[in-house]
Amino acid sequence: MTVKETIRPSQLIYQSGPGAVVDLMDKSVMIKAADQWNTWNAPKEDDVRITSILGVDHVRIINENPDRQKIKAIEFPKWKICPSCHRMTTYENQQCYFCKKKGEEKDLYPSRFVLICENGHISDFPYNEWVHRNHQCTEPTKEPKLKLVTRGNSGSLSDLHLICLHCKHSESLGSIMKPNEQKHSLFTCKGERPWISPNANVKCSCKMKTTLRGASNVYAPAVTSFLQVPLTSSSSEQDILYIVKSNEDDFREAYEESGEVGLKMACRFLKISTDFIPTIKSYLNGEISIEETTTYESIRKQEWNTLIQNYVDEQKFTSSKVEMHPELEPYFDAIYQVDSVPEVQVLQGFTRLDYIDRLSDDNKELQPVVKKDEKWLPAVRNYGEGIFIKFNLAKLREWEEKQQITKEVYQAYDNYREEFDNSLIHLEPRHILIHTFSHALLRELAAYSGYTTTSLKERIYTMDGMHGVFIYTASGDSEGSLGGLTRLAQSDKLYPIILRALENMSHCSSDPICSDGDFEYHTTANGAACHSCTFVAETSCEWGNMLLDRRALININPNQNDGYFDHLLNI
């Protein structure tokens, strides 16, 4: 039976991508792998930065020409239950066969429980095996006939009882989520990957865990975001290689016809320093590969090099440096108004049970969203606007030498990473300062820009000598945004907004527990930060609402002198 429903392209990149369980109007389905979709009308994007880091030939922009694309899904879980007679079935019918024989039409509802393992595999809950795990069925060769009934009024799992209609034996579901029960052999993973194909099983010896089919740990997408800013020549060899790759045919022709003289002419035409000619020659001779040298840090650095330009107007990216209020000059080097910026979000894969490490690309193996031999990934392109703020490096270094509060946050974050078997990373005090400032400003900008906090996003630049933040909004439903954010970049508007953002960080409804930054009361790696004062939506924050501390911004406690902006509020 074919059912047609509409789903937004952005959902296919996030919570409803390949391998995700999605509730439709009358059934529960799993989205198939992207190579089984009808996406031949989707534009192909082969930006060298994207393809190099992801190891693909191109990405397909599924939110352009969306009406001409078809997404496929399979019914999952297979087990369904009748709300009237409580009979269970794995057939694809949507109405109860037994009630229909009585002249009643009862719609079946999908099973609430599924099995998942840490390697990303997923299976139906083994109801027939569960009811017979300690009891031999009298009719083991016959097709399972099961009922799921409720005995009791507490609403707990122990009230649910599974009955085999062959042998009349019943078992409670009360212990299906207990670790001791899940050591049983029936919870051994079979390596099922139904989103790829029914026969795509792989070897896996993990023990599966029972969870609700709609639980948040069933599907955690790994989405990588790229700003499609223009390539600008700078002192970075990686930036030069991006430019050469984008104009490779011209460079090769110049090199083959005129040798080094031809490369000098090409460099002058593209405003590249001739000092990079040895690097260009090494690339053209096959001695170095752009894929080998491309990292997430190098891509972020290339974005930084473009964002700090005084004025850029090329294709769909427009940015300009704006006048800064005099009182902000000790704290910031520059503020930029980004009127137009394209953003590409690519779905790399997903995990189950374990969440994606947002601060590092050292993630565990992801489950694929396309077949192994496919060389593309699904993506969406959004267009938006934003405000980019570059911190004063001298002031930043002076503050880093004097502050004392960040060490506790780093230790808490290291403990968190060790708990989830993630490698430790080097952090500097500026990570916490710039990230907390970003949240404070993002929350305040939402009140004046016309966008909700969930519509605004941050992009933190703190690695490899970078020291800034880009707060922006991007939508895939239009060719840009309405200018409500960029108009606030002007000095007479942004200055009071920053002051109010900092003032709001001076108090919290959870104080004094929050302001003390006592980790005894915290479940995340933060200092003085919580949902009441600093946290934003998960879709807005790059680092999962971690590495935050209001005390880095201003002095909120007696005898504290760690606030970067404290003198600004004392004016």
Residue 443 near residue 532, CB atoms below 8 Å: no
Average pLDDT over residues 146-150: 91
Report the percentage of the chain scoring pLDDT > 90.
47
pLDDT at 426: 82
Please report, to the nearest 10 degrees, the dihedral formed by the alpha carbons of residues 125, 127, 133, 134 taken in order: 140
pLDDT of residue 33: 95
DSSP H helical ranges for 163-321: 237-246, 248-269, 277-284, 290-293, 296-307
Q: For residue 58, is pLDDT > 70?
A: yes
Nearest to 176 by CA among 206, 146, 212, 224: 212
Q: Between the CA of residue 465 and those of 73, 300, 561, what are the distances in Å?
A: 46, 11, 25
Output the pLDDT for position 269: 84
CA distances from 32 to 12, 282, 491 (A): 11, 43, 50
Listed residue (438, 481, 227) closest to 339, CA to CA: 481
Contact, 348 vs 377, CB < 8 A?
A: yes
pLDDT at 277: 87
Task: Give the pLDDT score at 482.
Answer: 61
Which residues have CB under 8 Å from 181's CB, separation 6+?
Answer: 175, 187
22: left (phi over 0), alpha (psi -120 to 50) or beta: beta
So what's the pLDDT on residue 481? 57
pLDDT band at 520 (very low <50, low <70, confident <90, very high): low
| Residue 248 in this model has a pLDDT that exceeds 70 | yes
pLDDT of amino acid 3: 56
Backbone angles phi, psi at 408, to 5 degrees: -65, -40
What residues contact residue 500 under an 8 Å CB cut-off, 6+ apart?
444
H or E segment and range at residue 336? strand 332-351
Q: What mean pLDDT is predicted for residues 209-238?
A: 85
Alpha-carbon gap, residue 158 to 172, rounded angstroms: 6
Looking at residue 138, its pLDDT comes to 80
> What burial letters (b/e) apply to 151-170, b meaning 16+ CB within 10 Å?
eeeeeebeebbbbbebbebe
Name the nearest CA neighbour of 28 among 102, 158, 100, 122: 122
Average pLDDT, the chain: 87
Q: Tell me phi and psi for residue 328, to 5 degrees.
A: -90, -10
Measured CA to CA in angstroms, residue 331 lies from 108, 327, 429, 496 at distances of 62, 8, 15, 15
Task: Evaluate the omega torsion of the peptide bond into residue 77 and state whether it is cis, within 30 degrees of 0.
Answer: yes
Indicate the pTM of the whole model.
Answer: 0.88
Q: How confident is the model over 252-275, as pLDDT tens digits?
A: 888 888 888 888 888 888 878 888
pLDDT, greater one: 542 or 426: 542
Mean pLDDT is lowest, of 236-240, 496-500, 513-517, 527-531, for 236-240
Predicted local distance difference test score (pLDDT) of residue 258: 87
Alpha helices (H) in 308-420, listed in sequence order: 393-402, 406-419
Identify whether 221 is preceded by a cis peptide bond (ω within 30 of 0): no
The helix or strand, by DSSP H or E, that contains position 224, with its residue range, turns out to be strand 220-227
Check whether 477 has a pLDDT greater than 70. Answer: no
pLDDT of residue 234: 59
* pLDDT for the residue 479: 47
